[in-house]
Structure formats: structure tokens, C-alpha cells
Amino acid sequence: MAEKKVKKGNYDASSISVLEGLEPVRKRPGMYIGTTGPDGLHHLIWEVFDNSRDEAMGGFANRVEVSLLPGGYVRVVDNGRGIPVDIHKQTGVSALETILTVLHAGGKFGGEGSGYKVSGGLHGVGVSVMNALSSHVIVEVHRDGAYHMQEYAIGVPKYKVKKMGASKLQGTVVTFQADATIFPETDYDFKRVVNHLRQQAYLVKAMHISVIDARMAAGEEAAMHASTDKAVTKFLEGIKGKQYLSDEHLEVPHQHFYFEGGLRSLVAFNNHYQKPVHKNIFYVEKNDYDAAVMSVEVAVQYVDDISSRISAYANNIYNPEHGTHITGFKTALTRTLNNYAKKNNFFSVKDKDTGFTGDDVLEGITAVVSVKMPEIQFEGQTKAKLGSVEARGAVESVFGEAFNEYLEENPDDAKAIINKVIIAVKARKAAKAAKDSVLRKGALEGMSLPGKLADCQSKRAEDSELFIVEGDSAGGSAKMGRDRKTQAILALRGKILNVERARLDKMLASEQVKNVVIALGTAIGDVFDISKLRYHKIIIATDADVDGAHIRTLLLTLFYRYFKPLIEGGFIYIAQPPLYKIQKGKEQHYAFDDNEKFSILKSMGVDPSENEDVIEDESEDAEVAEAAVAKKNSKVRIQRYKGLGEMNADELWETTMNPEFRILKQVNIEDALLADRVFDILMGTDVPSRKSFIQTNAKMANLDF
């Protein structure tokens, strides 16, 4: 298939507006990229990619390639117009240098004379911030028949823009190396990059995106060294002047994305492991809606599930907290389905006056809503929520009109959707009855805390911790070893209910789930109130075996589906108890994984491969193990813990509960859509998909025999 022809346009130094300088970035990087952790590191890629993506949104490009290179380098390529290299009148240097060294300099401000009508990186700080936070940057520009290049070190140009010669290519190549003095870790996650760019490919129809992991292309050993390594330097020199590495047929991991269907394709992807309620995916796209809202695009399909999955985008930026465009979508959805149901006599006589609520019509829906606007406003620097008021009316009008036509023209789909909503209405009424009898008369009105809960003395949620442990044995040790002032223990009996497809009434009939809900204090459903959370650290502490992992997954499913604000707020943690206790005479250490075990043995002067020096002990009786050590104190004894219940109170406190020494992993949602999809696969009813997922990912599992 031939590549589509892209538009040409006037794009030179006069298109670039300058608002302020670059100095603050290295001093306070968190203000510009949020964090210097993994999120901020990957954000550098997104900012550079967004420039290429915006070229495609404007019709000036149709191919983008992102490559992870040896030495911690990243390379982003497009076939757009190429960054202008002529002199900028305001700064007196090239437009390329201006864009790379001045904050708020770019072609995304100022209307008619600017480079873009619509862009994602509206603040214009992206590529300059990337430059400031990189130890080395190479920018290559192919435009107007010439090839230009400039390099930077920590944001400072090494030389003026050089004309390297003639070129038949068109576009920009940005290669950068994140500064290791800014970022503690500079190892990019290829899977994370792939997931993000796949999402972007859905949002810009007919844009080719390639993602390449070429980190081993210069040799496995060279890839592990710094950028000064000769092999890495030689590799970089070898790709200068070239546009697409994918054309070189490198034998490295790679992915390619191209979707003609846009959001329709994204909904189909999100519903891959779901059973659709209706065959046809609703889709509408209206461009040039008005001056304030250039484009509205919506895709919808209902599935046989109780969760709703709504994804929101504004200028291709994901909005996890939704915003005005989703408000307009929900309003139109509720009104349109109510009108259709009344018109076609789906309501019983007693329900005709009440109709469907907003929650009723959202059950089981998968929807993606995207707007593109020239003057866009977000609530907050992170762009998590759209604030532009014009988006609400635009989406409400475009979606409402088109969805009504869809229902009229597809009566079988309409009937299936309405019947799905009617089931939701019945479930809502049953759940309300259960909630009224259990919650409103219970946790909300002073129901006593569950008997399995050993509460802490502190009444300040900020100081309080709740350990959720499995079984009475672990619960007993935890209660004896804890700090009673701040640490509460809730012991669960066996595995809790899988709530992935359980409605509220069934959930609250489960004693274990009800105990968790009451202990948290927030209630659940539409009366959930995070301000009433009784503990600001909820710590899941299960055994390091298959059953423990299953219980942990069931608890995470409960929190993700019904208490997601607790995950988003950073209140959920997973305890990391040690796997081994290592003793030699009176010397005693704990190891949390095999690498640490080998390191400890080495520090003791013991070769783990020498069996006569090491005694492996999987005894569940700690006293027996200690007695054996006393008899053979010249040897090293390793006790492998199978569960928390094997530890006595002192051991459990010292290794897992003492804030000074314990290891906790905070649960977060790096990619909510991906997390939702994984929960669907692992906890849903599609057994073949779950089997396929496990087989595909088995090699990445940490197996515990």
C-alpha cells in the first residue's frame, strides 16, 4: 500500500514564537516532567514524540519511528516538514536552536501564523526540557533539499547549525541521552513505550508508528556501558544521516502500528477479551465542528460486564480524570437512551417516569471520546482533566445526534443495548437494598468493627496502618509483633470472593469482603467517602507461594474495581517478607531474593555451590532450626520461609512490619487501560484468553518451587 501524500505548508522561523528562557529546568525538573523517576524518564520520549505526532495531526507527516539505542540513547524520527533552520529574528540564532534552548518556543502558539492549528504539546516546553535534562542531544533536519545537524551537551549547543550536505529526505531526527545525574535510573521499558505509542496510533488514523528496541545492536556488552563506549559511539556515527532504522532490517525486537479505523479500532482492541452485547461498534467523527472545537470523535460498544471503561483524550493527550468532554458524552448518552426506550415502550408503567440513571447506562460500556481544539485548557499542569467548556456542548451535540441515528438505523443493536441497561436497573435496585441493609445500618451508623480486626490505638488515619494477612497463624504472629499504637491487623480466612464480575449485593453477602469494607471505613459504591478512610497505609501481607499470590490478586481486584481512589491516592502497599533466614553461629541475616542470599553468603566467605558448607532447611519450626544451628554453628544454615505464619512475632516485626527495616511496594496504576485489560484477562470468564495470556507471559514469571 502506497504511503498517503502529506500536506505542505509555510513553516519557517517566522512561525516560531518565544515566551521565556530555559534556566529553571535543571534546577527543578519535577516542575516540568512531574518526577525524575521512571515516569519522568519516559516523559522525555513522549515530549519528543508529541512534536512528530503533531506534524501528523496537521497532515504534514504520516510516519514516526521511536528507537531505544545502546548507551541509553533514544531516537525519534518523522517524515514531517523538518524543524526550520533559518535565523529567528527575536533570538538571533537558528529556529532549531531556539526551539531546543528556549522554553515556550515553538510553532504551537499564535493562530494563523503558527505552525499548527491543533497540537498536544500546547505548552511548548517539551523538546527544550528534554534537551535541558539530557547529557547529549543530536538533532538532524532534512528539508528543502539539505541535511543540517546540531549537537547539545546538557542543553548547551556544541556548535552552530551545520549544513552537512544535500538530502532527498524530509523530516526531523532527534537522538538524546537522558542525564544520569538527573535520573537515578535511565533504563527504558520497551513494553511501556510500545503500549503508549500503540495508543497514539489509534488516535491519529493512518499514521505509521514503528517502535524498535535496538539497545543490543552494538553488541550486548557495549549496550551495558556508558555513551563513551567506543562501540556505542561507532553505532551512533553509523546511523547519522539515515532516517529509518526499520529500513535497515535490524535483527532486534520491534513493533509497527497502523490503524485506519481510529477510535473504532481502539474500542475493538479494548474489548478483545470481552463478549459484545451488540455486533456493530458505534462510531462518529465530525471535523471542523466550529472555531473552538475542531474535531469530535467517539466510539462506543457495550459488553457483557458490569464495569464501565471510558477513555478520554484532548488533542491526543490522555485525560485520566476526564473533564468537560466526558460530561457532555454522559449527558447525551443518558438522554438518548431514555428517549429511545420511552419512544419504543421498553419501560414498564412504574418505571416510565423515573427512567434510566447515568450509572445505569454506563454499566458494561466501552467508550473512547476524543476532541481536538486550537485553544485548549486543562485543569492542572498534568493535563489529567479537560477544562474547556466548549468541549461539553460539542460532544453532547455531535454524539447525541449521531447515536440517536445509530439506534434508529440498527434496531437489533438498540434492543440489545436497552436490554443491557434494563438489567443494570434491576441490579441497581437489588444492590441498593443490600447496601441499605448492610452499609447504611452498619458501617455508616456505627456497626462494630469485624472480630478478626485487631485495631490500633491511634485515631489519626495519617499515622495508622492496616495489615491484611491470610490465616489465623500469620494473624496471630502479626498481632503479637506489631506496634499496637499505629498498626492494625485484619486476618482473612481463606480466599475472598472474586469481585471482577460480582455485583454489590453479592459482594456484601461475602463475610470476608464485608470485613474489609467495614475496616476501611470509607463505605462503598455511591456512598464511598475517601475522607473517612481509617488507615493511610493498607498493606497486603500474604505468603510467598501460589495461594498467597492468588489472595493478593483477589484483594487487588477488589481495590481496583471498587476502591480505585485508594490506589490512585497511594494508600495501597504490598509487604515484601524475606524468603530466607541465613544463620552462621550467632550471625543472622534475612534475604528477600536469591541475589541477596548469594550476596550474604559471599560476605560470610561461603561459596553457595559448596554443599558441605551450607545446610538448606525448609522446616516450619523456627525453634528446631535454631537448635540445629547451635549444634552445627560452624556451618551456614538457610531457612526458606514458606509463609508469614512460620515466623515468630519478633521475626515478623523485624523483617516485615518495622518501618525502619521493612520493604513495601506501593501499588500504582501506570497505565489504567492496560491494568483494566489485564484484570479482565486474569479475573474474567474468558478461560481460553487467560490460558493464552499465561502461556505467553510465563517466561517473565518469578517461579517459586
Q: How far apart are CA 52 and CA 40, in angstroms?
A: 19
Query: pLDDT-derived band of residue 109, with 50, 70 and 90 as boundaries?
Result: very low
Residue 21 lies in a domain: no
Report pLDDT for 276. 94
Query: What's the CATH code of the domain at 482?
Result: 3.40.50.670
Q: Mean pLDDT score of the chain, rounded to an integer?
A: 82
- The pLDDT of residue 110 is 45
For residues 282 and 421, membership in a common domain is answered with: yes
User: Is residue 3 assigned to a domain?
Assistant: no
* Residue 6 covered by a domain: no
In degrees, rounded to 5, the angle at the alpha carbon of residue 519 between the alpha carbons of residues 542 and 685 is 60
| In a domain? residue 461 | yes
Same structural domain, 452 and 414: no
CB-based contact 704:545 (threshold 8 Å) = yes
Same domain, 235 and 102: yes
The verdict on 421 and 526 lying in the same domain is no
Is residue 249 within 8 Å of residue 279, measured between CB atoms? no
Share of the chain above pLDDT 90, in %: 42
The verdict on residue 298 lying in a domain is yes
Cβ–Cβ < 8 Å for 393, 319: no
Using H for helix, E for strand and C for coil, what is the string for 11-58? CCHHHCECCCCCCHHHHCCHHHHCCCCHHHHHHHHHHHHHHHHHHHHC
pLDDT digits (tens, 9 = 90+) for 557-602: 889 888 989 998 999 999 988 888 898 888 888 888 888 888 888 8
Per-residue model confidence as pLDDT tens digits over 619-678 = 444 444 444 444 444 578 888 887 787 788 998 998 899 999 898 999 887 655 565 666
Question: Domain with 108 in it: what CATH number?
Answer: 3.30.565.10
Q: What pLDDT, on the 0 to 100 scale, is given for residue 125?
A: 57
pLDDT band at residue 612 using 50, 70 and 90 as cut-offs: low
| 340 confidence band (pLDDT: 50, 70, 90) | very high
pLDDT at residue number 23: 72
- What is residue 104's predicted lDDT score, i.e. its pLDDT? 66
| Residues 82 and 122 occupy one common structural domain | yes
Is 420 in the same domain as 449?
no
Residue 17 is assigned to a structural domain of this protein: no
Split into its structural domains, the chain has a count of 5
The answer to whether residue 413 scores a pLDDT higher than 60 is: yes
Residues 515 and 449 in one domain: yes
The reply to whether 600 and 699 lie within a common domain is no
Label residue 292 by pLDDT band (50, 70, 90): confident
Given 415, 436, 457, the domain boundary residue is 436
Check whether residue 398 and residue 379 sit in a common domain.
Answer: yes
Tell me if 274 is assigned to some domain.
yes
Q: Which domain holds residue 647?
A: 580-665
More confident residue, 122 or 29: 29
d(CA 698, CA 248): 31
Q: Is residue 293 located within the same domain as residue 313?
A: yes
Cβ neighbours for 420, distance < 8 A, ≥ 6 positions apart: 277, 302, 304, 363, 364
**653 and 601 belong to one structural domain:** yes
pLDDT tens for each residue of 309-320: 999 999 888 898
Per-position DSSP letters for 259-276, written without gaps between them = -SSTHHHHHHHHTTTS-B
Catalytic residues: 470, 543, 545, 547
At residue 205 the predicted structure's pLDDT band, cuts being 50, 70 and 90, is confident
What is the CATH number for 373?
A: 3.30.230.10
Last residue of a domain, one of 412, 436, 460: 436
Residue 235 included in any domain: yes
Does residue 57 sit in the same domain as residue 118?
yes
**Residue 157: which pLDDT band, with cuts at 50, 70 and 90?**
very high
Q: What's the chain's length in residues?
A: 705
Q: How many CA atoms lie within 13 A of 399 on its CB side?
A: 30
